[in-house]
Amino acid sequence: MTEDPHAIASNPPQKALPLHRQMDRIWSDLPGWRGSIASVNHGTIGLRFMATSFLFFSIGGVLAMLIRAQLATRDGAFLDTQLYNQIFTMHGSIMMFLFAIPMLEGLAMWLLPKILGARDMAFPRLGALGYWCYLFGGIIILSSLLFGVAPDGGWFMYVPLSGKTYTPGISADVWLLGVTFVEISAMAAAVEIIVTILRLRAAGMALTRMPLMGWYMLGTAAMMLVGFPPLILGSILLELERAFDWPFFDVLRGGDPMLWQHLFWLFGHPEVYIIFLPAAGVLSTIIPVFARTRILGYGAIVAAIVGLVFLSFGLWVHHMFTVGIPHMALAFFSAASALVAVPTSVQIFAWIGTMWAGRVELRLPMLHVIGFFATFVMGGLTGVMLAMVPFNWQAHDTHFVVAHLHYVLVGGFVFPILAGITYWMPMISGRFRVRALGEAAFWLIFLGFHGTFFIMHLTGLLGMPRRVDRYPDNPEWEWLNLVSSIGGMVMSVGFALFVLDIAMQWLFGRRSHRNPWKAQTMDWAMALPAPSYNFASLAGPGRHDASVTLPLARGEGLLPGAPRDRREVLVTEPGTGRPDHVAVLPGNTRLPIWTAAAVGSFFLLMLAGLYWATPLAILLILWAGWQWGGLMGSRRDAEPLAVAPGLALHEHWQVRNTLAYSGTVTLLVADATLYASLLFGVAFLTVIAPNWPPPESGLGWPVLLTGAAALLVMGLGLVASLLAEAQRAAPLGRLAALAGVAAAGLALLLLAGVAWQFDDPTRHARDALRAALLGYAGFHGVVTLMLALRSLADARQGRTSTMRRGAAPVWQLFQAFWLGTSALSLGVIALQEIG
């Protein structure tokens, strides 16, 4: 027998209880409410996300019941039209932005470290910041309903309906600003999830051997990273149009409402898969456990995930089939929409095959899995119907589409999530559930759902359009709607019973023993309820299943305990999982909530129309960002830490490829997508929009020379950032950082000079786009300036040495990105002038 070259020796066993106390003291939340808001632990933040999203789900559900009450009879007098519009808009927006996405974020945050064998997510403070942004943004959106200014243009906010002309007041601004605020949490979660999966897996856990949930979440996060920026950009552009009259969507001045539809659905369709993939991860985790076998077709499922992630970005136009797009473009997206059923089917057959090969136990989580199959497959089939252009033209904007989307979203997300909650509740609560309540809840939800939506296909085929509040001239729709409304009420009772079941389990369930389902994955390799630190020591190569509970609890794994009173985690290489270094994660802090409050103040000032005061909020955000960096870094060079016998690794301050570096690269992918979406906007309006070419600009050599000078100075800043790292132990390093600060400041001034020469952005969409491109460059200039200042502070305060690099590597990334995107933007403007 040959010895495994990657094997790592075990640490000597310790007493489990003292080790637990030591770890819990370092990793748990502080006591009291002040301690509670300072929590950054993934377990707390993940549960908060899930609980809050379920609360929003309940509110969205109540709104749905109001809709069903109104539609139960043809002359419903329950709601007036204005309120009905607000309610269906809020129902969709809440379910999408305040329930589904945050629920998956919460699940990922809570579960990933456990199932991958880690102690926390890669960026605990970022997770907490995301939660507070979500909570504050959600409260803003929800408050609008109480004050009677809720959005009422439908959850996809089409222009010109949501423009200032047809939607005066602040209702559309609530949606645009509130959703953008909430989506900060989605972007934060996407970065966190990707870096956690790629860098914090248990030692030796190769990517091709990680639990399928890891692949699903990796795919989800990658889609979020690329899918959300078009929506964020669209929201910014529409808000700029509403607030400052920049005419991106105004046809008379070179804009085009179709640009909004493209940007929205570039997000909106991948969004369906962003919601589905984590749910599919739950299914791939649960089904083998209750089928008492291994998942069938691991490789095929991973390939299907890859296929879904990419194909889902080629479908967005199927939401726009009726807007007058040429046949060939329709055919592209119709073919892609049909093709995407293939990778979905691969997964469905893999799950059926797994159940076929095993011996299925119909426990409560499996009931919800069966609910998923019965519902989602039907939703998928009606999706293929809607992918066909001729049928789509007939069914567009009818209740058939409403039925289809609920079959997909409830089947593809809600049932699997309910399965997941019932499956992981023993780990959350440490208790077994109370018998029979859950089963009753399932049947009420299942029958109520199909009672509501199955018959709605027929309502749609009979021609009932969505979003009407009365149908006095169509008595043939009435009994169908009445049945749907009764079904909806039954479903509501089911959900209420589900919540009661969870509460009963938490409060009165008897104590659960470890691993009650006899699962194989590492999330069950711990005491119940899950401790704050997950694992007292970390699993080594070849020990990535639930059988390692006791050795890990006794400290026989890697990096045992918290002997240095710090939150230490093992960072591994992305592909192989080979141990790379030890990262020291931040402890409890209230900085995330203060930062979220600073960001929130900006959104609130925008909402109130107090634009003159927004610079104060921006200063507040910059101050909070500066504090954020102040907690990082180290003033000493440390010896490598003993991780296991024969294995010593550096702390993260002394390596280059840190979690922060990986996170910045990931963030820049999202940033680049937003920029690419902006360039798409430029190209789309230039080629497609009416009322082009725009009026003469009169820009000449002075603008091009000023722009070229700005680029030159940014290039010098890049050289300074490289020098600041290369010479970090010498006085030249500090000088280079100082030069970098000066270069960033000067480049910003030169960009302001370019802006000064631009035409009024309200004149034409071309001028507005130029201002947007320059605003993008200015924003990145400010970020780069902050990073240069941080590098200078690092150098001055002794945070750099031969071994420690401070913020310089991250500064370089942003400096290069700023230079690259600014060069492209100025190139586009120059081309426009030449053309």
Under rule CB under 8 A, residue 327 binds another protein: yes
Alpha helices in 210-340 (DSSP H): 212-244, 257-291, 298-311, 327-339
Among 335, 631, 648, 749, binds another protein (CB under 8 A): 335
Rg, C-alpha atoms of the chain: 27
Residue 834 in the binding site for another protein (CB under 8 A) = no
Hey, which residues between 480 and 499 contact another protein (CB under 8 A)? none
The answer to whether 221 and 140 have CB atoms below 8 angstroms apart is no
CB 818 to another protein: min, Å? 25
Q: Which is nearer to another protein, 662 or 706 (CB)?
A: 662
Is 391 near another protein (CB under 8 A)? no
Q: Does 170 help bind another protein (rule: CB under 8 A)?
A: no
**Secondary structure element (H or E) that encloses residue 620, with its range:** helix 614-630
Nearer to another protein, 83 or 676 (CB): 676
x-or-dash string of contact with another protein, 206-235, rule CB under 8 A: -xx---------------------------
Bridge pairing between strands 579-585 and 647-649 = unpaired
Beta bridge partners of 552: none
Structure tokens at 755: 């802006």
Using CB under 8 A, which of the segments 39-47, 297-305, 549-557, 653-661 binds another protein? 297-305
CB-count exposure of residue 489 (10 Å: 0-12, 13-18, 19+) = middle
CA angle 41, 45, 51 (to 5 degrees): 150
Q: Please, are residues 118 and 178 in contact by the beta-carbon 8 Å criterion?
A: no
- With CB under 8 A as the contact rule, the residue among 78, 158, 310, 454 that binds another protein is 310
β-pair partners for 431: 511
Q: How far is the CB of 684 from another protein (least distance, A)?
A: 8
Nearer to another protein, 176 or 222 (CB): 222
Q: Quick check: 311 binds another protein (CB under 8 A)?
A: yes
Pairing between β-strand 579-585 and β-strand 641-644 as defined by DSSP bridges: unpaired
Amino acid at 541: P
Residue 824 touches another protein, criterion: CB under 8 A: no
Stretch that binds another protein, among 137-145, 328-336, 530-538, 631-639 (CB under 8 A): 328-336
If binding is defined by CB under 8 A, does position 322 make contact with another protein? no
411 token code pair: 């089947």
**C-alpha dihedral over 104, 110, 116, 119, to 10 degrees?**
150
Neighbours of 545 (CB within 10 A): 16
Instruction: Give the alpha-carbon dihedral of 702, 705, 710, 713, to 10 degrees.
Output: -140
For residue 831, state whether it binds another protein (rule: CB under 8 A). no
Give least dist CB 315 to another protein, A.
9
Report the C-alpha gap between 556 and 569 in whole angstroms. 15
By CB under 8 A, which span of 364-372, 558-566, 584-592, 680-688 interacts with another protein?
A: 680-688
User: Please, are residues 58 and 142 in contact by the beta-carbon 8 Å criterion?
Assistant: no
List Cβ neighbours of 12 (8 Å cut-off, separation of 6 or more).
555, 556
Give yes or no for a cis peptide into 390 (omega within 30° of 0): no
2 binds another protein (CB under 8 A): no
Q: Is 463 in the site for another protein (CB under 8 A)?
A: no
Q: Does 624 bind another protein (CB under 8 A)?
A: no
User: Rule CB under 8 A: is residue 349 a binding residue for another protein?
Assistant: no
- Nearer to another protein by Cβ, of 146 and 687: the residue is 687
Could you say whether residue 630 binds another protein (CB under 8 A)? no
Question: Which of 314, 463 has the CB closer to another protein?
Answer: 314
In the complex, least distance from residue 310 CB atom to another protein, rounded to whole angstroms: 4
Distance between CA atoms of 378 and 400, rounded to whole angstroms? 12
Q: Binding segment for another protein among 147-155, 304-312, 481-489, 742-750 (CB under 8 A)?
A: 304-312
Q: Say which residues have a Cβ less than 8 Å from residue 544's Cβ, sequence separation at least 6.
A: 117, 202, 204, 205, 209, 522
The nearest distance, CB 542 to another protein, in angstroms, is 15
- Is 314 a binding residue for another protein by CB under 8 A? The answer is yes
Q: Determine contact, residues 322/392, Cβ cutoff 8 Å.
A: yes
C-beta of 334 vs 520, nearer to another protein? 334
Nearer to another protein, 462 or 665 (CB): 665
DSSP 162: T
Calculate the CA dihedral of residues 707, 687, 230, 666 and round it to 10 degrees.
-50
Taking CB under 8 A as the criterion, the residue among 9, 303, 362, 705 binding another protein is: 303
**Pick from 31, 299, 324, 698: which binds another protein (CB under 8 A)?**
299
Strands (E), 482-639: 567-572, 579-585
Which of 574, 715, 745, 775 is the binder for another protein (CB under 8 A)? 574
Considering the complex, what minimum distance in angstroms separates the CB of residue 811 from another protein? 23
Residue 482: CB atoms within 10 A of its CB come to 16
462 lines the binding site for another protein (CB under 8 A): no
How far is residue 19's CA from residue 26's CA, in Å, rounded to a whole number? 11
To the nearest whole angstrom, how small is the minimum distance from the Cβ of residue 500 to another protein?
Answer: 44
Considering only 332-340, 463-471, 797-805, 824-832, which stretch makes contact with another protein by CB under 8 A? 332-340
User: Cα 699 to the chain's mean position, in Å?
Assistant: 41
Q: Is 326 in the site for another protein (CB under 8 A)?
A: yes
**42 vs 318, which CB is nearer to another protein?**
318
| Contact (CB, 8 A) for 432 and 426 | yes
Q: How many residues bind another protein (CB under 8 A)?
A: 30
- What's the min distance (Å) between Cβ of 79 and another protein? 42
**Residue 568 Cβ, how far from another protein at the closest point, in Å?**
25
> Pseudo-torsion of CA 75, 78, 80, 85, nearest 10°?
-100
Interface with another protein includes 542 (CB under 8 A)? no
> Which window, 23-31, 308-316, 457-465, 499-507, contacts another protein (CB under 8 A)?
308-316
Q: Is 323 in the site for another protein (CB under 8 A)?
A: no
Establish if 688 lies at the interface with another protein (CB under 8 A): yes
Q: Provide the token pair at 151.
A: 């959005």
| Structure token digits, residue 454 | 């199955």
Give the E-state strand segments of 547-611 in sequence order.
567-572, 579-585
Question: Does 297 sit near another protein (CB under 8 A)?
Answer: no
298 binds another protein (CB under 8 A): yes
Question: Which of 223, 226, 203, 201 is closest to 214 using CA atoms?
Answer: 201
Establish if 504 lies at the interface with another protein (CB under 8 A). no
- Comparing CB distances to another protein, the nearer of 389 and 618 is 389
Nearer to another protein, 62 or 303 (CB): 303
Determine if the peptide bond prior to 693 is cis (ω within 30°).
yes
Q: Is 359 in the site for another protein (CB under 8 A)?
A: no
Contact by Cβ (8 Å): 470, 74: yes
The nearer residue to another protein, 94 or 387, going by C-beta atoms, is 387
Query: And the tokens for 122?
Result: 């890669």
Q: Pick the binder of another protein from 328, 359, 390, 835 (CB under 8 A).
A: 328
The residues of the shown chain that bind another protein, judged by CB under 8 A, are 207-208, 298-300, 302-303, 306-307, 309-311, 313-314, 326-329, 331-332, 335-336, 339, 343, 574-575, 683-684, 687-688
